[in-house]
Structure 1
């Protein structure tokens, strides 16, 4: 009886050991499969192609239609100052910053920017179309036609034909134009040539390229450009939705 009990215990010990060995092997096998699956999945995710962003076209749009420039290209930079208090008004007057223009202005900006990109730079916007109601708000803050167009008459900004811009390199660094945007003084004048040569060269690049694509400048503001073809458009009060 005692011998039989010892024999049974001995057999049970080896059976348990064998079962544990098989369990360890199975666990290792399952772990290997799991890790291999993760690697393969990771590789698939890494190689997966991200769909290229598509942009709107101007097909079927009238030249006077207002459009959001970012819907047609991602090749511009933006610093919409009037949607912040970092401007000469020292007050935020837009609910949100967007760059809208009429279609004909957008077309001219796209061709100008393609030209700039060929020279290693691109356009950065400070302001674009400005609803006339915003012009009234600006006039309430600074009722001086030397700095703000009288809203009764309106500005070409209110027609969707003017932009305030500078140039940045392809890494987003602004070219030195001698002053900040909305600096009201002789240092910002186009006909002030008493400036370092690199500043004069940067302003010349901006001015000559914009003029080549149908824009004209004003003497006292190196950043301001009007599209000639938009001069006779009506003052508008179209407002974009803020998301």
Structure 2
């Protein structure tokens, strides 16, 4: 009887854990449990999602998905906040300091994104090339991607770029050439700066940068309110 009870307890625990890790249509391992997330941070502090604004006070935020000013035309985040894994934030801090010497700074549009939001994006986006496929998850879901642009430190005004954020226009591509020289210079300066600190731009979005080593981090589905 004791062996049976022990077996049932183990089975219950495994089922509960599985529900916390794979509550999605594709059977992906996604951390949605606060306890599991906290345990992962205790094992490796690099897993911690850090609030970017608190770690880098001078950085600007314009969290479009906390407003209706986005391609979804609806509020996707309950809070206008931005998080990323600890190593990502450490590198952003270095980038902000380097840019400051040249009169520039960073403005963050988006960073860590809960997986449920990625599901919603893919379902409603008119052009699937500009949203992550939820079958694999997004680097945003891993806390290892940032959407950003440059601003002038003195004014906070955005530096001119080829397109607005989240544009589906062909000119949003990181190597699009049919542009005024100034826009190409500004875009390439941003890309080159980010690359020096371990980020890689994705081909179709000049504003989206993935941090190298993103494969080492789990997909996450914990809302901002819990962080």
Radius of gyration: which is bigger? 1
Q: How far apart, in 2, do the equivalents of 1:143 and 1:231 lie?
A: 28
| TM-score normalised to structure 1 length | 0.71
Work out which of the residue numbers 165, 172, 194 in structure 1 matches 2:148. 165
The yes-or-no answer on 1:185 pairing with 2:169 is: yes
Partner of 2:193: 209
Partner of 2:101: 118
- Map 1:1-243 onto structure 2 (within 5 A): 62-142=45-125, 145-170=128-153, 171-241=155-225
Of 156-165 and 61-70, more deviation after overlay is shown by 61-70
Task: Tell me: CA distance 1:143–1:204, structure 2 relative to 1, closer, same or farther (3 Å).
Answer: closer
| TM-score normalised to structure 2 length | 0.76
Q: How far apart, in 2, do the equivalents of 1:205 and 1:188 lie?
A: 15
Instruction: In structure 2, list runs of 5 or more residues that go unmatched.
Output: 1-42
**Structure 1 residue 144: deviation in Å?**
5.3
Deviations 1:2-50 (A, max 9, x none): xxxxxxxxxxxxxxxxxxxxxxxxxxxxxxxxxxxxxxxxxxxxxxxxx
Deviations 1:178-210 (A, max 9, x none): 210011122111221221111111111100000
Q: How far apart, in 1, do the equivalents of 2:126 and 2:206 lie?
A: 22
Q: How far apart, in 2, do the equivalents of 1:198 and 1:142 lie?
A: 31
- Partner of 2:161, secondary structure, is coil
Instruction: In structure 1, list runs of 5 or more residues that go unmatched.
Output: 1-59
- Partner of 2:120, secondary structure, is helix
**Structure 1 residue 137: deviation in Å?**
2.2
Q: How far apart, in 1, do the equivalents of 2:51 and 2:44 lie?
A: 13
RMSD between aligned residues: 1.9
Higher relative contact order (CA 8 A, sep 6+): 2
- Partner of 2:140, secondary structure, is helix
Deviations 1:151-193 (A, max 9, x none): 2321000000000000000110000002100111221112212
